[in-house]
Structure formats: structure tokens, C-alpha cells
């Protein structure tokens, strides 16, 4: 498989184009927009690029970066996972109830990871084996697990996490919050798996051209299901981080998380059609969205305008992706 | 391949180390708290601008919008140079981020109306440890804050119950109403809010002293106006003689009135079939409803004082007077009925309906 699969893998890390204005805009337009936005905010607000603020933004974005890294695998494999927010709600509610009743922390974490594997497997079976469209299959799973969480809690916030658990998010190591370190570790792990292992090359191959990948002997179904399980695992880790940060869990949590993660991935160059994307791009996308929100917050811009702004950037990302796909097809 | 990976990892690790090193060197200096344990200004953030952050759970209520407009209109009178207002859209995760953003934007003091009193506490602790005091307005926070300004919701619940009791004490013939003869429907709101819990605690406390009142239903409507509407319709199906309905906030009055209209029970206050509608807040439509005879009782919260009192505390803080630190100021409400509504409006006691409104 090696070289042939690598040809199918067309992440930004392997893109080599002629340096025309069009190719620069297609490949780096969003990064240019990102720099322009940062520059504008930095001019308006001298604290925007201060280290305190940047570190703060990393901390805020930590849990959703972890989730976005997982979703990047699913997107690159040519699918989508709409259930990540619901998975976070479900596993955090169950674990909080368990911990509030005196359960052990390692056991609760193990439980969350096992639940995640089961949910990821279900998503994979519905979409890959049964053939449901990813939108329907995963959204249904999301409804089921969030519904269970809502019924268990009667939609009330669950408290009672051990102090050690809640304090973890607020403690710092080497000047960065523990959550930031976890996010960095998961990002590096995701980067390694997606870009430097044979499994990662298979993911790109399956997303780029599933039939060709099959011809090359890749078990496409297995790879795609594995991507759903990776996404679910990262959602479970994000849930642990969120629980620690909030000191609580509720069934209504992370309702818009999927949208934000996909937006971040698209902004970072991941194609919704599969076969293209990178963990570093997702990291940039997450950071970009978080910095925009932070910059707009500093100007007192209300939450609804922030949605408009983020939506606009995501739209720009999707349009560039569409042009890029057409350009690649023409080549 | 290996070379490329090493390069990328080297770049990423270098970035991480740089960030960590820089973060270490920019940490809050040790001993930033005052000798008496109270907050002092963080020298890292003190840029000579008196900046105040406001982080509110949601701007959607009329009362909040008026309050925010008042903060914006009056802050300069209290020696504040800049004010940054953020809305959390009822989302705790978002509110935690916003509180951190406000602290990093150099706010000297932050007003917080929490989405969740327990969930917000760790970030409030962390911000106060940086020397930025937090004032809790309208909703308590489950940790020690610089100052808490809230409605005395227990008292408010009691006042409403007492007013319902007094209005229904006599039957149609002018005799004392028999025990258990006046049926009351209590629509139970979102009990995760401490304000709502307190209102019900006061209401329930007072109701037991009035034997003629008989609570016939306590449907859980949370903050959902559709549920309120259905709860009233369902309540009358099983108890057609309901005489009074209590809802926890003014935004729930409109669905009650709509349901009464559908039931043919929206009749003038003098009509024996009139149903008393009681609520808390004092928004303009509800006060006007009292004037029009559609609803009857509202405990008018002092949103005007939520603005001026908080700003005064901040002014004192900037002037070095921190004597109010640790105080929980519970403001009384004012009961508005058709008998005093015009007088209160004329004398500008109603925050939502000024004399010239």
C-alpha cells in the first residue's frame, strides 16, 4: 500500500502547488484571514495578544480541541459525527452520578472510555455497516444518549464531584493549566496517528477514494468504524475535562459542540468530502475560533454577533474547500 | 518521513515549551492578596483605567435589558471609565470562559449574574485570587464574593402568598372563607435557581398560616412558557374552581392570561369568576396587565437598585473603601396590585413603568 496510498492522501501537509495568487488564496486564504483578524484585534485591543490572554484562550479551548481532533479523523475518513456533544453530556452525567455516590475516579474514567467505545462502535455500525447517512445515524445516537442523560437527571445539574477532580482543571503545571497539557498531548497523539502511521494513511485513503482504497486491500469499513471509535474516545476525554472544569454535569451540555468542532476542522483545511485534512489545521481552526470569540468578548460584542462572525469564517472555509476540490479534480 | 515527523514534532514541542516558559514567567505574583485576605488590584492588570466587567446569565428578559441600559447610562457618574458587558446565553461553559476573558481584559472588578451558583464558583475563586473582586447581582454564587446584591426572594414569596390570602379571605357574601375553600395553583419554576427556590420557600412558608388556601396543583413548568399554558389548562380540567395562580416570573404571566382567556375565565377583578394571577419581577406588560385588570399581583423587584447600588459599591472600591466586603444585601420587593399601581407609577417606584411611561 505505502506509496499508492500516500498519493491518495492529500492533506495540506502533502500539498505541493505552484505559487500563483489563486493557489496561495486557495491554500492559505484562511490563514491570511486569520492573521488579518488577529492583527485587527491586536490594534484595537493591546491585551489581545498578551501572553496571559493567549494562555487563557488555550485553556478555554482545551476540551473542544480534544473533541475536534477526534472529529478530524471521522471527517478525513469521509464521514461526520453529529453525536459528540451528546456523548459528552451522557458520559459526564453518568460519571458524575457515579462519583457523587462515592465511586472511584479511575473506575469512572474507565467506564466513560468503555461507554465511548460502545457508542463509537454503534455509530460506525449504523453508518458504515447498515449504510445510514452519517447525518441521520449519528444524530439519532446523539438523541438517544442525551435523552437517557436527561431522563436520569430530570434535566437537573449534577454535582458532588470529588474536590480532587474539580481542582484538577484549575491547577497549573509549568504555567499552563492541566487541561491545556492534556489537549496538547491528545493533539500530538492525534497528529502522530493521522499523519505518521499506516492507519492514518489508510484513513486518508478511505476518505479520498473508498473504492480505490478497497482495491488496494484496505478494509475500509474497519477503518471508518475505528475513526468513529477514536472520535468517541476523544469525546469521552473532553467530557472528563469539562466535568473537571465545571465541577458538575448536565444533560444539556455541549449542545453546539459538534458544529464548533466541524467549523474548526473546516477552517483548518479539513474537507467535508473526506480525504483531506490535518490535525495541525484543526488546532489552528480551534485556536482561531477561540481567539475570535475572545477578541469579540473583549469588545463587548454580543454572543449572537459572534455566531454570525464564526459562521462567516466557516462559510469562507467551506467555499475555499469546495474550490480546492474542484481545482484538484481538474488536475 | 521520519525526518518530516521529527521536524513537525520539534516545532510543536518548541512552541509548547515557549508557551509554558512564558506562562510561568507571567504568573500572578505571589502574595497578591491583601494582608486581611481581601482582594487588591492586580498590578499586572492595573493600566490606570477603571474598567468594570459585567457577565450576565442572559440578556433576554426585559428586566435585564433595562438593567443593562441603566448600567450603560450611569457608569460614568460613578467614576468608572469603561464597562464591558457579556452575555452567557444561559450557558455555564460560556460564562466561565467569559469571566476569564473579562479578567484578562484588565477588568478591575466584575459583576456576575451566574448561570449556576455552584458551577461558576471555581472560576470566581480563581479570578478573586488574582485580585479582581466579584460582585454577585440578582443571583448568589456558592463561594465568598466581594459583595452580593439580590432580592430577598424568601420575603418576596411570603409577601405574594400573604397578598393572595388577603385578597381571598372573604367569600362572595362577605364572610370569612371556609378552610380549604380557595384553590391555588402553583406553577413550579426552574428549581436549580436559588432565587426560585427561595421564592417557593417563602411562599410555602406563608401559605400554611392561611387555612382557607388550598394548593391543588404544583405542575413543574421550569422556564417553559408552553408548559405554563398547558399546566393552567390541565389544572382547570381537574380543578375548575381554581381561584389563584402563582407563577415564579413575569415572563410566565402571558401564557397564564392566554390560557384563562381560552377557558373563558379572563374576567374583570370584580367578577366572582375572576382568577387571581400573581407573579414576581414587575415588567411593563405585567404592570400594565394589573392596570387593565388581567392579572392582579406582582412583587416588583428593585432592578433600579441593582444598578445604582452595585455602581456605588464599585465607586467606593475604586476610592479605596472596601468596608462593604462580604456583605450580602437582600433588597425587599414591593407588592403591586390594582389598588396601588397608579400611585406607584406616578411616584416613580416602578422600574419598568416610569411616571412618564
Residue B126: give the domain boundaries: 51-145
Give the model's confidence band at A18: pLDDT under 50 very low, under 70 low, under 90 confident, else very high.
Answer: low
Where does chain B show beta strands of DSSP type E? 51-56, 82-87, 109-113, 134-137, 147-151, 182-186, 213-217, 242-246, 276-281, 297-300, 327-331, 334-336
- At A221-277, the pLDDT tens digits run 999 999 999 999 999 999 999 999 988 898 888 888 898 899 999 888 898 889 999
B203 and B77 co-located in one domain: no
Taking the C-alpha atoms of A109, A112, A117 and A122 in order, what is their torsion angle to the nearest 10 degrees?
A: 180
In a domain, B280, yes or no: yes
Our CA-based measurement puts residue B59 at a distance from the nearest CA of chain A, in whole angstroms, of: 10
Predicted confidence (pLDDT) at residue B20 exceeds the cutoff of 90: no
Residues B124, B167 within the same domain? no
Query: Using CA atoms, how far apart are residues B202 and B191, in angstroms rounded to an integer?
Result: 14
How many Å lie between the alpha carbon of A126 and the closest alpha carbon of chain B? 31
Angle between helices A279-298 and A51-76 in degrees, nearest 10: 140
Residue A192's φ and ψ, nearest 5 degrees, are -65, -50
Residue B272 sits in a domain of what CATH number?
A: 3.40.50.2300
- Please tell me whether residues B98 and B179 are part of one structural domain: no
Shortest alpha-carbon distance between residue B250 and chain A (Å): 22
Interatomic CA distance for residues B49 and B80, integer angstroms: 8
CB contact under 8 A, B93 and A159: no
Residue pair B50/B80 in contact (Cβ under 8 Å)? The answer is: yes
**Of B116, B145, B174, which residue sits at a domain end?**
B145
Per-residue pLDDT at A11 exceeds 70: no
Last residue in a domain, options B145, B171, B186? B145
Residues B195 and B268 in one domain: yes
Residue B62 CA to residue B66 CA, distance in Å, equals: 6
| Tally of structural domains, chain B | 2
Residues B68 and B201 placed together within one structural domain of the fold: no
Give yes or no: residues B137 and B86 share one domain: yes
Task: Evaluate whether residue B256 is within a structural domain.
Answer: yes
Q: Do B12 and A188 touch (CB under 8 A)?
A: yes
What pLDDT is attached to residue A147?
A: 94
Residue B159 lies inside a defined structural domain of this protein: yes
User: Which of residues B264 and B355 earns the better pLDDT score?
Assistant: B264
pLDDT attached to residue A269: 86
ipTM exceeding 0.85?
A: no
The CA-based angle B177-B183-B188, given to 5 degrees, is 140
My answer on whether B181 and B241 are in the same domain is yes
Q: Give chain B positions within 8 Å (CB) of A253.
A: 92-93
Residue B11 forms part of a structural domain:
no
Give the mean pLDDT of chain A.
88
The reply to whether B87 touches chain A by the CB within 8 Å rule is yes
pLDDT exceeds cutoff 50 at B185 = yes
For residue B181, the 8-state DSSP code is -
Whether B201 and B341 share a structural domain: yes
Does A239 reach chain B within 8 Å, measured CB to CB?
Answer: no
Instruction: Sort B227 into a burial class: Cβ within 10 Å, 0-12 / 13-18 / 19+.
Output: middle
* pLDDT above 50 for B21: no
Residue B104 domain-assigned (yes or no): yes
DSSP state of A125: I
pLDDT of B309 higher than 60: yes
The A residues from 122 to 161 touching B (CB cutoff 8 Å) are 155-157, 159
In-domain check, residue B183: yes
Residue B33 lies in a domain: no
Do B159 and B69 meet the contact criterion of CB atoms below 8 Å apart? no
pTM above 0.80, yes or no: no
Least confident range of A11-15, A30-34, B223-227 = A11-15
Instruction: Give the pLDDT score at B13.
Output: 53
Mean pLDDT of A93-103: 95
Give me the mean pLDDT over the B8-33 stretch: 48
Q: What's the CA gap between A223 and A220, in Å, rounded?
A: 5
Identify whether residues B56 and B175 lie together within a single domain: no
Contacts of A242 in chain B (CB under 8 A): 93
How many Å apart are CA B141 and CA A33, to the nearest integer?
40
pLDDT higher than 60, residue B304 = yes
Write out the DSSP string of A53-91. Answer: HHHHHHHHHHHHHHHHHHHHHHHHTT---TTHHHHHHHH
Q: For residue A84, what is its C-alpha cell?
A: 459528540
pLDDT tens digits along A136-174: 999 999 999 999 999 998 777 888 899 899 889 988 899
Residue B6 confidence (pLDDT): 56
Across the interface, whether the CB atoms of B20 and A196 are under 8 A apart is answered no
Which residue from B112, B114, B95, B116 is spatially nearest to A248, judged by alpha carbons? B116
pLDDT, greater one: B256 or A28: B256
Same domain as B176, residue B89: no
Q: Work out the angle at residue B47's Cα, subtended by the Cα atoms of residues B41 and B51, and round it to the nearest 5 degrees.
A: 70
Measured CA to CA, the distance from residue B91 to residue B60 in angstroms comes to: 13
Same domain (yes/no): B226, B340: yes
Report how far residue A76's alpha carbon sits from residue A86's, in angstroms, rounded to the nearest whole number. Answer: 21
At A39-87, the pLDDT tens digits run 998 898 888 888 888 898 999 999 989 999 999 999 999 999 999 999 9
The C-alpha atoms of residue A321 and residue A268 are separated, in whole angstroms, by 10
Taking the mean position of all CA atoms in its chain, how far away is CA B117? Answer: 12
Q: How many CB atoms lie within 10 A of CB A49?
A: 14
User: Chain A, 40-69: which have a CB under 8 Å from a chain B CB?
Assistant: 45, 47, 50-56, 58-60
Is residue B15 less than 8 Å (CB to CB) from chain A?
no
Question: Do residues B190 and B252 both lie within one domain?
Answer: yes
Answer whether B282's CB lies under 8 Å from B257's CB. no
Give residue A44's pLDDT. 86
| Topology annotation, domain A2-325 | ABC transporter involved in vitamin B12 uptake, BtuC (1.10.3470)
Mean of pLDDT values over A306-329: 79
The phi-psi region of residue A245 (left if phi > 0; otherwise alpha if psi is between -120 and 50; otherwise beta) is: alpha
**Where does B248-326 show beta strands of DSSP type E?**
276-281, 297-300
Are B100 and A303 within 8 A, CB to CB?
no
Question: Looking at residues A10-24, what average pLDDT do you find?
Answer: 59
Q: Residue A52 and residue B44: Cβ atoms within 8 Å?
A: yes
Local confidence band at A12 (pLDDT 50, 70, 90 cut-offs): very low
Closest to A265 (Cα-Cα) out of A32, A257, B256: A257
Amino acid at each position: 500500500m505505502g506509496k499508492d496510498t500516500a498519493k491518495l492522501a492529500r492533506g495540506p501537509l502533502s500539498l505541493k502547488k505552484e505559487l500563483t495568487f489563486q493557489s496561495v488564496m486557495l491554500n492559505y486564504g484562511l490563514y491570511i484571514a486569520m492573521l488579518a483578524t488577529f492583527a485587527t484585534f491586536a490594534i484595537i485591543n493591546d491585551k489581545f495578544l498578551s501572553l496571559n490572554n493567549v494562555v487563557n484562550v488555550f485553556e478555554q479551548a482545551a476540551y473542544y480541541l480534544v473533541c475536534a481532533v477526534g472529529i478530524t479523523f471521522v471527517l478525513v475518513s469521509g464521514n461526520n459525527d453529529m453525536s459528540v456533544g451528546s456523548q459528552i453530556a451522557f458520559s459526564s452525567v453518568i460519571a458524575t452520578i457515579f462519583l457523587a455516590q462515592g465511586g472511584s475516579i479511575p473506575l469512572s474514567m474507565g467506564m466513560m472510555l468503555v461507554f465511548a467505545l460502545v457508542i463509537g462502535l454503534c455509530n460506525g455500525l449504523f453508518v458504515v455497516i447498515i449504510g445510514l447517512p452519517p447525518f441521520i445515524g449519528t444524530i439519532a445516537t446523539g438523541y438517544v444518549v442525551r435523552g437517557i442523560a436527561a431522563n436520569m437527571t430530570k434535566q437537573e445539574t449534577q454535582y458532588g464531584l470529588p474536590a480532587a477532580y474539580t481542582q484538577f482543571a484549575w491547577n497549573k503545571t509549568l504555567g499552563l493549566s492541566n487541561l491545556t497539557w492534556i489537549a496538547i498531548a491528545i493533539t500530538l497523539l492525534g497528529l502522530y496517528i493521522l499523519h505518521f502511521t499506516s492507519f492514518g494513511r489508510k484513513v486518508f485513503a478511505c476518505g479520498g477514494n473508498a473504492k480505490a482504497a478497497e482495491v488496494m486491500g484496505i478494509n475500509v469499513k474497519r477503518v471508518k468504524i475505528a475513526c468513529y471509535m477514536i472520535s468517541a474516545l476523544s469525546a469521552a476525554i473532553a467530557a472528563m475535562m469539562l466535568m473537571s472544569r465545571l465541577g458538575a454535569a448536565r444533560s444539556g451540555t455541549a449542545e453546539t459542540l459538534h458544529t464548533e468542532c466541524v467549523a474548526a476542522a473546516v477552517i483548518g483545511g479539513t474537507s467535508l468530502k473526506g480525504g483531506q485534512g490535518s490535525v495541525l489545521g484543526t488546532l489552528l481552526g480551534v485556536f482561531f475560533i477561540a481567539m475570535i470569540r475572545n477578541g469579540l468578548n473583549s469588545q463587548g460584542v454580543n454572543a449572537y454577533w459572534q455566531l454570525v462572525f464564526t459562521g462567516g469564517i466557516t462559510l469562507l472555509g467551506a467555499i475555499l474547500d469546495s474550490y480546492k476540490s474542484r481545482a484538484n479534480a481538474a488536475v | 518521513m521520519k525526518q518530516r515527523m521529527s521536524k513537525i514534532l520539534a516545532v510543536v514541542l518548541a512552541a509548547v515549551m515557549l508557551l509554558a516558559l512564558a506562562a510561568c514567567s507571567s504568573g500572578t505574583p505571589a502574595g497578591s492578596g491583601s494582608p486581611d485576605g481581601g482582594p487588591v488590584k492586580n498590578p499586572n492588570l492595573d493600566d490606570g483605567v477603571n474598567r468594570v466587567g459585567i457577565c450576565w446569565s442572559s440578556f433576554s428578559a426585559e428586566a435585564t435589558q433595562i438593567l443593562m441600559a441603566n448600567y450603560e447610562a450611569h457608569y460614568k457618574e460613578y467614576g468608572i471609565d469603561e464597562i464591558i458587558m457579556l452575555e452567557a446565553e444561559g450557558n455555564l461553559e460560556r460564562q466561565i470562559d467569559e469571566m476569564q476573558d473579562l479578567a484578562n481584559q484588565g477588568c478591575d472588578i466584575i459583576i456576575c449574574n451566574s448561570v449556576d451558583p455552584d458551577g461558576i464558583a471555581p472560576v470566581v475563586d480563581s479570578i478573586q485570587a488574582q485580585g479582581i473582586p466579584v460582585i454577585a447581582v440578582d443571583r448568589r454564587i456558592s463561594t465568598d464574593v466581594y459583595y452580593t446584591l439580590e432580592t430577598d426572594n424568601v420575603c418576596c414569596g411570603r409577601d405574594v402568598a400573604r397578598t393572595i390570602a388577603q385578597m381571598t379571605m372573604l367569600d362572595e357574601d362577605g364572610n370569612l372563607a371556609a378552610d380549604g375553600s380557595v384553590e391555588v395553583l402553583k406553577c413550579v419554576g426552574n428549581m436549580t435557581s436559588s432565587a426560585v427556590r427561595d421564592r417557593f420557600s417563602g411562599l410555602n412558608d406563608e401559605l400554611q398560616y392561611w387555612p382557607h388556601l388550598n394548593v391543588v396543583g404544583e405542575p413543574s413548568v421550569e422556564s417553559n412558557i408552553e408548559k405554563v399554558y398547558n399546566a393552567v389548562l390541565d389544572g382547570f380540567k381537574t380543578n375548575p374552581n381554581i381561584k389563584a395562580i402563582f407563577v415564579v416570573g413575569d415572563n410566565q404571566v402571558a401564557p397564564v392570561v392566554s390560557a384563562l382567556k381560552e377557558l373563558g375565565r379572563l374576567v374583570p377583578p370584580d367578577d366572582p369568576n375572576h382568577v387571581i394571577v400573581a407573579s414576581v419581577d414587575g415588567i411593563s406588560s405585567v404592570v400594565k396587565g394589573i392596570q387593565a385588570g388581567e392579572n392582579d399581583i406582582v412583587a416588583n423587584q428593585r432592578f433600579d437598585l441593582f444598578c445604582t447600588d452595585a455602581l456605588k459599591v464599585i465607586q467606593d472600591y475604586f476610592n479605596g473603601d472596601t468596608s462593604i466586603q462580604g456583605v450580602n444585601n437582600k433588597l425587599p420587593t414591593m407588592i403591586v396590585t390594582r389598588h396601588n399601581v397608579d400611585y406607584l407609577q406616578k411616584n416613580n417606584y416602578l422600574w419598568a413603568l416610569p411616571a412618564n411611561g
